[in-house]
Amino acid sequence: MKVGLPQALLHYKYYHLWETFFNELGVETVLSPASNKQILNAGVKSAPSEICLPVKIFLGHVKALKDVDKIFVPRVVSVEKGAYTCPKILGLPDIVRGTEGLPPVLAPTIDFTKGKIHFAKAIYNLGAQFSSSPLKIFKAYQAGTKALKRHELKKQEDGLSKTGGLKIGIVSHPYNIYDSFISLDLLKKIKKEDVSIQTSESLDKKIIEDETSSLPKELFWTYEKEVVGTALHWLKTGKVDGIIYLLSFACGPDSLAQVLIEDFAQQYQDVPLMSLVIDEHSAEAGLLTRLEAFLDMIKRRKKIESNHRPDGLSANYARGSVQAA
């Protein structure tokens, strides 16, 4: 039995969990290739034009797995009490089932709003398709959660260990940040500039939770809370020198988050923010120009702030000079 894992969307969050789970049950997993032009074109052909870029890419990945026995597309409704995933993530199994020429879909429903027993049953029913031993299924899931935890801790440590130089925070969904085809290799381009990068993963989940619970109205999309909470924390604390908010075209939740984040950036003016919207037509040259201009602006600002200023003038004197330049 070969189970296909599309290398897109929530793959960038839970891959370690599911790969370990299936392998522990003796199931061979097949990962779709890294995103490329062919995958994007295949996804664009099968998706309605108004759907967001990451879902188009996801459909391209699913099509690249047409030779496996089953494709794993969980219906992730909720991963915490009181909050949900975005409607497109929630409906992914239906979108895939409606696409012609694909193997059957394995689609357990992950819904934490229904409690732990419902979740345990979903995992058991999934595992029972490959093993008749409840103990083996339980142990496979346990091994999966340990693998995921190890991966999350490593990401957090990597982020915290970065010191010195310019610090840029990238706010986005992991599938935008780590899919180098979607992001037009943004991480590599930033690293070339000798800049250290921070993401939501380097922040304690409690910090993000505290930031979003201070909002007048609580957000009910889990992954959008991560985006907004991270941006708000960095804007308030100034722990990064600048923030890049990477969002994909036609993302409904991000269009709301963008308004919130840009509004906060007006209130906490110490940390510059640049929003970058990407779609299937985005070009590398345009991205590079904006990135270079943003980093140059931050470097100049830091230089001015670190220079000696006439007595009696505040740091805002320097900031004003940069804005006017």
Summarize as ranges the residues that interact with ligand SF4 (CB under 6 A): 52, 54-55, 86, 88-89, 173, 248, 251-254
Handedness of CA 204, 116, 14, 250 (dihedral sign): negative
CB of 208 to ligand SF4, least distance (A): 16
CB of 251 to ligand SF4, least distance (A): 3
CB of 226 to ligand SF4, least distance (A): 11
Q: Rounded to the nearest 10 degrees, how much is the dihedral formed by the CA atoms of 18, 20, 25, 27? A: 70
**Closer residue to ligand SF4 in complex, CB, 251/273:** 251
CB of 49 to ligand SF4, least distance (A): 14
Q: Which two tokens stand for residue 10?
A: 């929530």
**Closer residue to ligand SF4 in complex, CB, 109/248:** 248
CB of 7 to ligand SF4, least distance (A): 15
End-to-end CA distance of the chain: 63
CA 254 to chain centre: 12
Which residue is listed with tokens 């093993």? 131
**Closer residue to ligand SF4 in complex, CB, 131/180:** 180
**Closer residue to ligand SF4 in complex, CB, 71/246:** 246
**Closer residue to ligand SF4 in complex, CB, 225/301:** 225
Sheet containing strand 166-171, strands side by side: 195-198, 166-171, 242-248, 273-278
Phi, psi of 132 (to 5 degrees): -95, 0
Query: Among candidates 189, 201, 202, which has minimal Cα distance to 163?
Result: 202
